[in-house]
Amino acid sequence: MKTLHIILAGLCLTLAAACAQQQNNDRTEEGNAVIENIMSRRSIRAYKPCTVARDTMQTILECGINAPSGMNRQSWEVRVVDNPETKAEIVQLMAAGNPDVDPGAIKGCFRGAPVMVFIANDPAYDFSVIDCGLLSENIMLSGWSLGVGSVCLGSPVRFLRNAPEALAKLGFSEGYTPVICIGMGYPAESPEAKPRDFGKVRFVD
């Protein structure tokens, strides 16, 4: 009986080692396109004037909505503005709703991105902001993997809050609230990585 236990334990160890080896072979860090994509992404604040083709945006947005969401509620709505006239109209409506703000600051809040993605959440669901954050990151990372730069933008949301006509133009459903914007386009700059603090991360034993 003791010999059988020793043989079984030996078998388990061999299987575990083979499993770890297999995982290492399949998913190495070196040359891993996903890790490389995540680590090389930067916020882009200078763009080439050309827009992003709608079929490319379609792929990026499909990646966005394939993000996980609480109970698969997909508690987001997304509006994409790639038409310069519509963008100018929205800027104008935002400026009208924020008369105390320098109109240049409102125009500048989009960082010159040719495509703007507006994301609204459903405040009735307590994890909705998380859903939208995950959607946003999928959009930005899939975009980056296709050479499309992006910047996550909070400031337009603040301006939109005071601009009902701009919000009406975006046409979110009743009850949905803009939570974040993403500016997108082909990068005209290659910024250095911003520092990160790994001290905020800890293994707990």
Closest CA to 175 of 135, 124, 130, 117: 124
What is the rounded distance in angstroms from the CA atom of residue 158 to the CA atom of residue 179? 9
Residue placing its CB nearer to ligand FMN in the complex, 144 or 172 = 144
End-to-end CA, the chain: 35
Q: Summarize as ranges the residues that interact with ligand FMN (CB under 6 A).
A: 42-43, 45, 111, 151-155, 180, 194
Residue placing its CB nearer to ligand FMN in the complex, 153 or 163 = 153
Least distance to ligand FMN from the beta carbon of 56, Å? 21
CA dihedral 149, 155, 156, 159 (to 10 degrees): -170
Residue placing its CB nearer to ligand FMN in the complex, 31 or 195 = 195
Q: Quickly tell me which residue has 């090389």 as its tokens.
A: 40
Least distance to ligand FMN from the beta carbon of 130, Å? 12
Least distance to ligand FMN from the beta carbon of 159, Å? 10
Least distance to ligand FMN from the beta carbon of 93, Å? 18
Closest CA to 101 of 160, 32, 164: 160
Residue placing its CB nearer to ligand FMN in the complex, 151 or 184 = 151
Output b/e per residue, 48-85; b: 16+ Cβ within 10 A. eeebbeeebbebbbebbeebebeeeebbbbbbbbbeee
Residue placing its CB nearer to ligand FMN in the complex, 108 or 164 = 108
What is the rounded distance in angstroms from the CA atom of residue 110 to the CA atom of residue 91? 9
